[in-house]
Amino acid sequence: MKLAPNLILVGPMGAGKSCIGRHLATRTGLPLVDLDDEIERRAGTSIGAIFEHEGEAGFRRHEHQALADLLAVDRPADGLLLATGGGVVLDVGNRRLLRERGFVVHLHAEPATQLARLAGDTTRPLLQRDDPGAVLRELAGQRAPLYAEVADLRFATDGLDAADAAALLAAQLRLHWRRGVPA
């Protein structure tokens, strides 16, 4: 059983990090912070606008700073439930922070599931291409090893709605994670 102050959800877009996170926050009593929402709040603009004006590299700088601030060692030990963006694992410093400061759950979804869940979503800059399915498959191939590197637990969300997934995940968490600060 891992002792960690924060519960962190990683995984590809459309895996359910934000939706499952809302249900899980109720079950755990942890405040939910959506990293993408936090980045937008701090920047005073949308993620799409950040990508447009600063590119992906600029967005990743915003992402790293917000993550570092949220997971800072001097934050209260009560912890938080953090729903990250799909690419948070691309940065080696982010991966270190995730491993050191939380119990990390890799929410996995197959690209077909992701595509169905994201149908009609125009807010995701990386999917604004001719073949979003191909993009999701390519991202899965690149990022799956990185999710595995940071994950304390892998949880598949295919075929589950957010409430059922949160209930099943909460049961798994009781077996693998204890909230607190490691000695």
Model-wide pTM > 0.75: yes
What is the pLDDT, as a whole number, of residue 78? 73
Q: Give the H or E element holding residue 94.
A: helix 92-101
| Helix axes 17-28 and 162-176, enclosed angle (nearest 10) | 60
What is the pLDDT, as a whole number, of residue 139? 87
Alpha-carbon Rg of the chain, whole angstroms?
A: 16
What is the pLDDT, as a whole number, of residue 127? 65
Annotated binding residues for ATP, written as ranges, equal 14-19, 124
Structurally, what CATH architecture does the domain formed by 2-177 represent? Answer: 3-Layer(aba) Sandwich (3.40)
Annotated binding residues for substrate, written as ranges, equal 36, 60, 86, 143
What is the pLDDT, as a whole number, of residue 158? 95
- DSSP 3-state of 120: coil
Report d(CA 85, CA 17) in Å as an integer.
8
Q: Domain limits of the chain?
A: 2-177
What is the pLDDT, as a whole number, of residue 125? 62
Closest CA to 36 of 79, 80, 81, 84: 84
Annotated binding residues, written as ranges, equal 14-19, 36, 60, 86, 124, 143
What is the pLDDT, as a whole number, of residue 108? 96
Annotated binding residues for Mg(2+), written as ranges, equal 18
Owner of token pair 């992701």: 114
Q: What is the pLDDT along the chain (183 residues), one digit of tens a residue?
A: 898 989 999 999 889 999 999 999 999 999 999 999 999 999 999 988 999 999 989 999 999 999 999 998 766 567 899 999 999 999 999 999 999 999 999 999 998 898 888 777 666 766 677 787 788 899 899 999 999 999 999 999 999 999 999 999 999 999 999 887 776
What is the pLDDT, as a whole number, of residue 106? 97
